[in-house]
């Protein structure tokens, strides 16, 4: 494990490029001063932003490229046109070459997944990667996956998602044996598709020491924090994510409208603004920013494309934690215990070299 955490940034990714990426990295550096950064993109734009953040500039290297992946590019087009030359590809390739420990982009999700899978490949024993993210709940935070990397999946795939999600929860939440639940239409054993029921049987039979399988969790259980890790395939996971984000915006708009409707409600807001601020902070999506691409032979983190500097900094924090606390090794160790899927558990450094 290197002393410094080396973070490769696609500086041109997202809606705002370097104007968010650079100050976001600067904010994360304050929290994690043992970070170093490799920034890929238009050097003139990057250097102009770095000049505003001297501390970040001292620990950063800039690599110029004129090519950036558009938010509207199809994954296949991005892979053809941006392979080996785009800021997104170069950030991922830095992980493959061992020059960086983690790559991070706010760019096109489909393109990032296609490039990451093509460049890094998947870990032994894993057929398809997944997107996992932190989900704020009533009892703290949970890890939810898959949020849209792949559609569908058999029992073996869901079992693998549970293993990877539990490894991420162990890293983020410092838990020895996170609780894991399968998202389902009911908690009874007879409910749900055959794949979900079979996955439950597999997890019960394995009885892995790194995760505590608690059975099925219904949709409302995500927000309640019914488990440390909620597992589902990418189609339903992405719908659940978008529904939750839309509901959060809806509630926020309802509150804003109600608080400004009459002079009495405005006065009431003055007395309760502390509570409303706490609610806004809890529902702030930027503080849960940073989806981890699990199952790859290297660590890649996806930030929301429209986030601000604060939100991007949280995504950088997630990437830092995944490296510092050795996510890849924890996944490999669990897979290795699972019936000998792997012959040995490589270190994170071996996995990205």
Distance CA 351, CA 35 (A): 20
Q: How far apart are CA 98 and CA 1, in angstroms?
A: 12
Into how many domains does the chain fold? 2
223 and 341: one domain?
no
Domain shared by 138 and 214, yes or no: yes
- Supply the DSSP string of 296-316, one letter for each residue: BSSEEEE--TT--HHHHHHHH
For residues 135 and 271, state if they share a domain.
Answer: yes
Q: How far is CA 143 from CA 270, 274, 314, in A?
A: 35, 28, 15
Q: Are residues 104 and 139 in the same domain?
A: no
CA atoms of 311 and 306, how far apart (whole Å)? 9
pLDDT reported for residue 287: 65
Res 290: pLDDT? 87
- Determine the pLDDT at residue 345: 35
Residue by residue, DSSP assigns 91-135 as HHHHHHTTS-SEEEE-S-HHHHHHHHHHHH-BPTT-SS-EEEEEE
- Domain co-membership, 137 together with 258: yes
Tell me: do 281 and 147 sit in the same domain. yes
Closest CA to 38 of 107, 91, 108, 85: 91
For residue 32 the two structure tokens come to: 């994690």
Q: What is the pLDDT of residue 278?
A: 63
Q: Are residues 353 and 215 in the same domain?
A: no
Domain boundary among 229, 255, 287: 287
- Domain termination site, one of 287, 304, 332: 287
Domain boundary among 287, 304, 323: 287
Q: What is the CATH number of the domain that holds 319?
A: 3.40.718.10
Q: Which of 253, 242, 191 is nearest to 217 (CA)?
A: 191
Would you write out the chain's pLDDT as a tens digit for each of its 353 residues?
A: 457 999 999 999 999 999 999 999 999 999 999 999 999 999 999 999 999 999 999 999 999 999 999 888 888 888 888 888 999 999 999 999 999 999 999 999 999 999 999 999 998 878 889 999 888 888 888 999 988 888 888 999 999 999 999 988 988 888 989 999 999 999 888 888 899 999 999 999 988 888 999 999 999 999 899 999 999 998 998 898 888 877 777 777 777 777 777 777 777 666 666 666 665 666 565 667 889 999 999 999 999 898 999 999 999 999 999 998 888 888 877 776 654 343 333 333 333 33
DSSP-derived secondary structure letter, 285:
G
| Contact predicate 184/216, CB 8 Å | yes
Range of the domain at 310: 1-126+295-353
222 in the same domain as 88? no
| Same domain as 242, residue 326 | no
Peptide bond preceding 146: is omega within 30 degrees of 0, i.e. cis? yes
Tell me the pLDDT tens digit for each residue of 249-281. 777 777 777 777 777 777 766 666 666 666 566
Q: What is the pLDDT of residue 244?
A: 81
Asked if residue 154 and residue 57 are part of one domain, the reply reads: no
For 215-244, the DSSP string reads EEE-THHHHHT--SEEE--HHHHHHHHHHH
Local structure of 1: helix, strand or coil: coil
CA atoms within 13 A on the CB side of 326: 14
CA atoms within 13 A on the CB side of 232: 26
* Residue 340 per-residue DSSP state: S
Task: Point out which residues pair with 122 in neighbouring strands.
Answer: 296
Tokens of residue 178, six digits = 């996170």
Rg (CA), the chain: 21
One domain for residues 311 and 276? no
Q: Are 203 and 221 contained in the same domain?
A: yes
**Tokens for 319?**
């990437």
């Amino acid at each position: 494990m290197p002393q410094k955490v080396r973070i490769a940034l696609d500086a041109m990714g997202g809606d705002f490029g370097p104007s968010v990426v650079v100050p976001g990295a600067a904010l994360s550096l304050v929290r994690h001063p043992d970070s170093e950064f490799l920034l890929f993109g238009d050097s003139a734009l990057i250097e102009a932003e770095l000049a505003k953040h001297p501390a970040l500039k001292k620990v950063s290297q800039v690599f110029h490229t004129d090519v950036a992946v558009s938010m509207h590019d199809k994954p296949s087009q991005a892979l053809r046109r941006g392979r080996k030359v785009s800021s997104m590809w170069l950030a991922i390739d830095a992980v493959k070459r061992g020059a960086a420990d983690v790559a991070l982009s706010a760019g096109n999700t489909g393109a990032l997944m296609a490039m990451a899978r093509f460049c890094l490949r998947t870990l032994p024993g894993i057929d398809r990667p997944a997107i996992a993210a932190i989900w704020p709940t009533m009892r703290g935070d949970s890890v939810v996956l898959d949020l849209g990397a792949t559609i569908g999946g058999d029992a073996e795939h869901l079992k693998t998602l549970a293993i990877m999600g539990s490894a991420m929860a162990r890293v983020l939440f410092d838990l020895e044996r996170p609780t894991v639940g399968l998202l389902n239409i009911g908690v009874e054993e007879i409910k749900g598709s055959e794949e979900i029921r079979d996955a439950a049987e597999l997890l019960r039979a394995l009885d892995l020491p790194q995760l505590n399988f608690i059975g099925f969790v219904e949709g409302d259980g995500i927000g309640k924090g019914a488990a440390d890790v909620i597992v589902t395939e990418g189609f339903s996971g992405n719908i659940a994510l978008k529904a939750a984000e839309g509901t959060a915006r809806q509630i926020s708009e309802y509150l804003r409208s109600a608080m400004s409707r009459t002079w009495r409600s405005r006065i009431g807001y003055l007395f309760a603004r502390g509570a409303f601020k706490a609610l806004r902070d809890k529902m702030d999506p930027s503080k849960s920013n940073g989806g981890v691409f699990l199952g790859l032979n290297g660590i890649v983190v996806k930030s929301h494309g429209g986030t601000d500097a604060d939100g991007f900094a949280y995504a950088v924090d997630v990437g830092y934690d995944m490296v510092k606390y050795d996510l890849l090794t924890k996944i490999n160790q669990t897979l290795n215990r699972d019936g000998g899927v792997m012959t040995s558990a490589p270190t994170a450094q071996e996995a990205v070299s």
